[in-house]
Structure 1
Amino acid sequence: MGLVVLIGVLSMAALAVRAHTLPRLAAAGSEPAFRVLRSGRASVGVIAAFLLGVASLGLYTYLLPMAEARGLADWGFALVWAWGIGGVTGSALVGKPLDRYGAKPLLLLLPVLLALSFAAVWLFTSPIVWLIAAAVWGGTGWASVPTLQQALTADRRRQSMPIIALQMAAMYLGSAAGAAIGSSLLTAGAGAADLAAWALLPALLALVLTAWIAFAGPRRPTASASTSEDRTATL
């Protein structure tokens, strides 16, 4: 952990020293980043990212204690790999469905599958069920990241940088908050096996928000609209 911190500090110092040589996009410097939150759609998307971070990454912190509490301690290594492989697979495969169908169906499907994976590890003790649930958990958690990005930036290309930056910051802040909440629950006497049930709450709240984005937000811009926007940005 000390080595990770050291590398991070050195990287930040290098970026600070060489900041003047890094390319800047006009849109990034034209207005404060937080101004994009004046859009209800962007604000709701950032909150949804936070809740998904609380649920998915926050609960992942306790995957091994949860498995041990269910009598699956010997499966811990396999479960971690299943979660990781699921995450990589979800991130790699979500692009084509996004391009073909847009973000709307995935904004509904991914949080539902995430919640179902939590329900599975809460209700069942079968290692096969846990392995499948862990893969789905990792896949849906990570696939939700580009899905939200496309949903929030499809009609706001010039503001995509601050929107994505705030979304990712919210997700990792949610991860830290989820880990802290899990620790507090365990300290208060909750069983590790029941943490998945607690994670259902932010997952279902995220589903409500992503459903609002899917149904209340604007449709994907047409090709002509995108071309017009790109021309305006260039001017």
Structure 2
Amino acid sequence: MAQWALVTGATSGIGESFTRLLASKGYNVALVARDEARLHERAAGLRKKYGVQTFVLPADLSTNEGCRSVEDYISTYEIEVLINNAGFGINKAFSTSQMDAEQQMFDVLVRTPMRLMHTVIPGMKERKSGIIINNSSVASFIAGGTYSAAKSYMTVLSESMNTELASSGVKVSALCPGFTRTEFHERGRMKMGGLPNFMWLNADKLVAQSWKDALANKPVSIPGWQYKLLVGVISTLPRRFVRQIGMNVRKKQR
């Protein structure tokens, strides 16, 4: 019997790529996002192309109710793969942003994936198998406002759980992509016109690399030579320069 995977932010971008990759591997897929019509459209496409089962779970993960509905689903059904992918960014400095927007971003990027991990891990440990991929970012290695701070939480938590669960059969990996051609920047109203083409990643390729790294139980996956190089350089720089890099990136997006 086919195992089930659950993907948040499943209707577009990296999340949608994950649903296709997992379906191609024979997993049934539970899709989570806010747009119910789009969820059904994506689910129908997976069933038709890959012959898998799907489950549509509309949920606003910035709300307690939305988060709890996914927790309840995970508690009820056996989830072998969890992809914490849902997310968005804010195109404003923390000192000028709206608190409601900051709280929503924190809830989607930190609160919800943390709670879903905490819900799914006991069952995975009991079965001695399971894969969790948390979509973080190369922004987690710089100091670029609350988005970077939230992604740093996910990268560090993923690394920590990868170590804690090393002998349990459960694999945890943080996917840390750079700029990727998705709807993310458009939704966040971020200006990305000045970014050179070689800095853009393809969602399908980076998802394939993330899956390969997760199977190999690598705690952190950084797709793309350009971003491996960038993170390598950042790790050697004094933090005052890293902070300035973060500030410059944020300014260019506004």
**TM-score normalised over the length of structure 1:** 0.31
* Bigger relative CO (Cα 8 Å, ≥ 6 apart): 1
Higher helix share: 1
Higher strand share: 2
